[in-house]
Structure 1
Amino acid sequence: MSGGEFEVWRGDIARRVAEAHVTAGNGSFAEGYAAGLARNAAALPQGAGTPGMLLLMGTAGDEPIGRLWVGLAHPRGVPNCAFLYDIEVFAAFRGRGLGRALLAAAETVAAGRGAEAIELNVFGANTTAIALYDSSGYRVTTQQMRKRLVTP
């Protein structure tokens, strides 16, 4: 990912995270967007050149079709386990199996850098992504649940 591509991605991923947080009931879009920018700035202090972080553009021929963010060190310190922070297929290319190809590319890159496993998080409402991960051999290892309470 070039420096210019990184700057565009940085805003795009913060927007997508904010939208997912709103859908999940985790606050406002503005709060989610600010939190997304802050989280990514902390995780990527040197931008696209941050050691141990891979920010990749997926292409079909010369055409960009999506993006990946893979951390070679797990954020919670799980040994020999990479972490897939983000995978995105651009809207015009969805429904063609390219998400599966990008996911396989992330796995190949991580394995080539010494990872023995790869983990990710997915919002419960993202049924398309959950189906992709499930059909690609990922299994649930942790699950968070929430119930909204009504004040009596």
Structure 2
Amino acid sequence: MTTVTLRPMTPAEFDEWQDALAEDYAAEQVASGRWPYEGAVRRARDESARLLPQGPDTRRMLLRVAVDADGETVGRSWVALDPPHGMPGIAFLYDIEVVESRRGQGLGRALLAATEDAARQAGAAALELNVFGRNAAAVSLYDSAGYAVVTQQMRKPL
């Protein structure tokens, strides 16, 4: 079984991650039709800055880097211990990602398990997340890891 270890994200890793996160999140929002292309990256950066006002030192946020047995960075995750819905005891997984060159090796499942464990150790009784419907690999991973749909947003072009 593949395992990873989590460690806190450094300030330099945080800055690099913020750039990548803004680009990726903006692209997903545009592709889903939720945001216009114009200004999407700026909007993503603003959302992140609002949620992480002290960067990697923001209270009640778990910003973690995953390393493999050789100490190589293989991914990252971001969990809010006080989720946007305000449900006591329910943490929220904002971001989880395995580095592209290491995908398909079971690291996503290992990173998810380690992230769940970190949230549990921080006092969370449950972990929620949103996943874009077109991300079939992520939907499959979460389903096989025991996540259940609790709300679903749907759209039909007219």
Same fold judged by TM-score > 0.5?
yes
Partner of 2:100: 91
Q: When the two structures are aligned, how many residues end up with a matched partner?
A: 149
Matches within 5 A, 1:1-150: 1-60=9-68, 61-149=70-158
Could you tell me how far 1:31 is from its partner in structure 2? 2.8
| TM-score using structure 2 length | 0.91
Q: CA RMSD in A?
A: 1.0
SS of corresponding position for 2:117: helix
Question: Comparing both chains, which one has the higher relative contact order based on Cα–Cα distances under 8 Å and sequence gaps of 6 or more?
Answer: 2
Residue 66 and residue 29 in structure 1: after superposition, are their counterparts in 2 closer, same or farther (change >3 A)? farther
SS of corresponding position for 2:39: helix
> Where in structure 1 are there 5+ consecutive unaligned residues?
none
Could you tell me how far 1:147 is from its partner in structure 2? 1.8
- Code of the aligned partner of 2:46: A
Aligned residues with identical type, % of pairs: 48
Could you tell me how far 1:104 is from its partner in structure 2? 0.4
Worse overlay, 17-26 or 133-142: 17-26
CA contact (8 A) 1:84 1:119 kept: yes
SS of corresponding position for 2:46: helix
CA contact (8 A) 1:68 1:106 kept: yes
CA contact (8 A) 1:54 1:70 kept: yes
